[in-house]
Amino acid sequence: MGLAMVWDMITVIVFGVAVMIYLSWVITVALLVASVALIAIQSVFGKPILKITTKVSETLVSFTIRLKDFFTGFEVIKSYQMQKQSDEMFKKENDDVVNADFSLYNIQTLAGSLQMVVGFFLNVGVVFFSAYLIIVGIVDVGVIAAILIASGAVIGPDFRSWLLYSNDQRY
């Protein structure tokens, strides 16, 4: 991630929050709390995903080495009639790779699903809170629309930066 991209994200977030605070500090606080909740989910699942990703990489390395050994020694295996043992070893290594990959898929799916559900309920909560503020007369619909547009500018770079950061950590 380049320095210019980081600077752009920081600028967008700072000015977006400033505009939101100018329009309605109450809704800004509600949106920022919702954003922190989503970031907390990302941080809770970040380390386990990284750990399992490392395990998947290690099992793939081991599997590749075994496969290379199998192919280079195929004539020896065949001449000493050790095909059954090599097949069992291959099956075990293959199962290890599949299981590690499956556990990575499961935790990524769990994290994504949990984030979507929590994000949905947080958005619904902020909308109801905003509707309450409109009914009470604290803000009007135009302010809510402006805050939603500004919040997209604030939360969007936040999630993009996390995705870029998480992708950098995997490789």
Give the model confidence (pLDDT) of 3-34 as tens digits: 787 788 788 888 888 988 998 888 888 888 87
pTM for the model: 0.64
Q: Please give the single-letter amino acid code of residue 160.
A: R
The string of pLDDT tens digits covering residues 99-124 is 888 988 998 889 888 888 887 887 78
The string of pLDDT tens digits covering residues 137-162 is 888 888 888 888 887 777 665 555 55
The domain made up of 3-170 has a fold known as ABC transporter transmembrane region fold (1.20.1560)
Helices 3-23 and 25-72: angle between axes, nearest 10 degrees: 150
DSSP 67-115: HHHHHHTHHHHHHTT-HHHHHHHHHHHHHHHHHHHHHHHHHHHHHHHHH
Q: Say which residue the tokens 């320095």 belong to.
A: 3
Could you tell me the residue ranges of all domains in the chain?
A: 3-170
